[in-house]
Amino acid sequence: MTSRKLVHSENDIKAGLLKIEDAYDLRLYQLPSGDYELVTFMKIQFYFEGSPIHIWTEQEKKSFVKRWESAIKQSWGNVTLKLLRKGKKVRLNFEFDIQIGGFMYDNWEITVTKIKQGGFRTSFVSIYNGQVTMDSEDLTPTNKGAKTPQRGAVHEFGHMLGIDDEYTKGSKYINDPLSIMHSSEKVRLRHSSTMSKWLEKALMLKKIQ
């Protein structure tokens, strides 16, 4: 990480069609190889809720956060946003500053409720106050009607990026069940439109071709 050169950055991006305020920061780096990396950076605070029956251990909390971060990076990251001259490219990746409990100035607060294994509880993102409600089963692949399953956590992360649901009747993408914003986990180029538009302006500003 220390060998990257920061080229351009902007904090508190207004994200996606949902126009979420302060959703994340964007940082464009040049790598030693000559390629570029656009990093979507978020500060996230996790809270864990349970019950007398379903109790979180400290190890379980840490494990959930680690698995969540890995799932997001694997599903949403390492995407080529643009090919540049001389064979160079710009890749999109995600980085997080995560804290469990306490207080911090964050982009998002995620509350995870522990439920029984195999159980269900509605998860959602409150775009106006930067809060996410999930449960302990949201990292478990679930069949939602597509050919491949979906983990609730990676779908909800799309809302944190300002992307709306695509399984609703009014969506122009309702016939794309494999989409991560529909019923599976396929990330489409349209899902990174906010980052791509920002990137184009940054490349023009810095005269990078």
CA-wise closest residue to 139 among 168, 110, 164: 110
> Please, are residues 152 and 137 in contact by the beta-carbon 8 Å criterion?
yes
Range of the domain at 19: 5-193
- Asked if residue 204 is part of any domain, the answer here is no
In a domain, 16, yes or no: yes
Q: Give a yes or no: residue 207 inside a domain.
A: no
The confidence score (pLDDT) of residue 199 equals 98
Residue 117 lies in a domain: yes
pLDDT at residue 2, rounded to an integer: 61
pLDDT score for 192: 96
Position 122 in a domain = yes
Question: Per-10-residue mean pLDDT for the chain, 209 residues long?
Answer: 88 93 97 97 97 95 98 97 95 98 93 96 94 98 96 98 96 97 97 97 96
Find how far residue 42's CA is from the centre of its chain.
Answer: 9
Domain tally, the chain: 1
- Alpha carbon distances (Å) from 43 to 96, 97, 107: 6, 5, 5
CB distance 11 to 66 below 8 Å: no
Strands 36-49 and 5-15: unpaired
202 within a domain of the structure (yes/no): no
Tell whether 200 is covered by a domain. no
Residue 82 lies in a domain: yes
Query: What local confidence, expressed as pLDDT, does residue 97 receive?
Result: 98
Find the farthest-apart pair of alpha carbons in the chain and give their distance in angstroms, rounded: 60
Nearest to 175 by CA among 141, 142, 145: 145
CATH code for position 84: 3.40.390
